[in-house]
Amino acid sequence: MVSKSKSGMLFGGQAFLLIAVGLVVLTLASAPFAYQNFGSAYYFLGHQALYGLLPGFFLFLFFWKINYLKLQKFYKIIFILCLALLGLTLIPGIGTEINSARSWLALGGFSFQPSEFAKLGLIIFLAGFLAKNEEAVSQKFTSGFLRFFLFVFAVCGLVVLQPDMGTAMLLGIIGATMYFLANGKILYLGVLGILGGIGTAILIKIAPYRTARLTSFLNPDFDPQGIGYHINQALIAIGSGGFWGLGLGNSRQKFQYVPEVIGDSIFAIMGEELGFLLALAFIICFFVFLWQGFKIASATENKFGYYIVSGIVIWFGWQMFLNIGSMIGIMPLTGLTLPFISYGGTSLAASMAAVGLVLNIARRS
């Protein structure tokens, strides 16, 4: 119990350290664009605080205080709510299109991305399903494996239709990894991997921008001023940082050279300003955060709590890997943001809710 309490404190401390680092990095990375377009270098910091940090704090408190076992009674309702919100984004007049993706819902003057909360919602649902049907999921094909992944595919399918291939892929990875942790059959996962690869190839083929992302990954020098521009500018930014970095606020690539500088490209600016040494320290900090989460999961005897914590750690770990991997050229560009660091109020609020839930489980188990 002492060990888990210590892990909970370290997990929470690391989470809030990452949030603080994110606010500083966001302010510095967004300053030129914010000042040019909104007349204030702190415009995006204010938005992140108002629409991410503030609601995230209340969600953190809610999920930290509530008896998490009550969520198990409503895991099916949570899943239906996730499907309903994702479906609403696809309805003209209700869903809002930004950057060619219909991923937003606007309620009055407030807008949010249901797909961000769907990550946590899917994890809670799968945790409830696994806790109740663990033996069937691990041993039986139709009543276990097939049912489990039909639920995952339902959520992924709605996200693909937005279209948001990166988030859909992440949701699929979360589902597959949670199935593996439930002692699922490797053979089934192998078949799923083959089918998933075929499906991904088809989706890439029918969408030119996905083909361009894959082409730029395989050959970044093919069209440096076209499809390879994003990854090339990101690599230039990271390479310019060298070992020690250019210093906080001294990035050159953030002056509208690197696309999506406050979104999925923010690690490139971190690498340029902080350099290899401090960027590596950030990654180590993130791994310590994930490791403490796994320690909490391994010490949680309640199956529902175990799967929730494991799913949340899987979510953060894979999203971090996919984001940073795409910036250093070992993964294709996915559009996924860097947890706790990139601009996005809904993403930060959902992440803080997840942290609160993990600390709740660490405290109560």
Q: What is the pLDDT of residues 129-155, one digit of tens each?
A: 999 887 887 778 777 788 888 999 999
User: Cα-flanking dihedrals φ and ψ of residue 109, to 5°?
Assistant: -95, 10
Contact 340, 45 (CB under 8 A): no
- What pLDDT is recorded for position 288? 94
Query: Averaged over 304-327, what is the pLDDT?
Result: 95
Residue 163: pLDDT band with limits 50, 70, 90: confident
Q: Pick the more confident residue, 111 or 308.
A: 308
Query: Tokens for 180?
Result: 């593996």
- What pLDDT is recorded for position 222? 66
- What pLDDT is recorded for position 210? 65
Q: Taking the domains of the chain in order of start, what are their residue ranges?
A: 2-364
Q: Where are the beta strands (DSSP E) in 85-144?
A: 95-98, 101-107, 110-112
pLDDT digits (tens, 9 = 90+) for 168-188: 999 999 999 999 998 888 888
Residue 285: pLDDT band with limits 50, 70, 90: very high
CA 62 to centroid of chain Cα atoms: 21
Q: Please check the confidence at residue 355 and state whether its pLDDT lies above 90.
A: yes
Portion of the chain with pLDDT greater than 70, in percent: 92
For residues 69 and 298, give the distance between their C-alpha atoms in angstroms, rounded to a whole number: 18
Check the CA dihedral 300-301-305-310 and report its sign. positive
- What pLDDT is recorded for position 94? 80
The length of the chain, given as a count of residues: 365
Which of the given ranges, 261-265, 331-335, 349-353, has the highest pLDDT on average?
349-353
For residues 220 and 240, give the distance between their C-alpha atoms in angstroms, rounded to a whole number: 17
- What pLDDT is recorded for position 201? 76
- What pLDDT is recorded for position 215? 67
- What pLDDT is recorded for position 256? 79
* Enclosing H/E stretch for 340: none
Q: Please check the confidence at residue 221 and state whether its pLDDT lies above 70.
A: no
- What pLDDT is recorded for position 218? 64
- What pLDDT is recorded for position 208? 67
Query: Averaged over 316-340, what is the pLDDT?
Result: 91
Query: Averaged over 71-91, what is the pLDDT?
Result: 93
CA 95 to centroid of chain Cα atoms: 21
Residue 7: pLDDT band with limits 50, 70, 90: confident
Q: Pick the more confident residue, 58 or 261.
A: 58
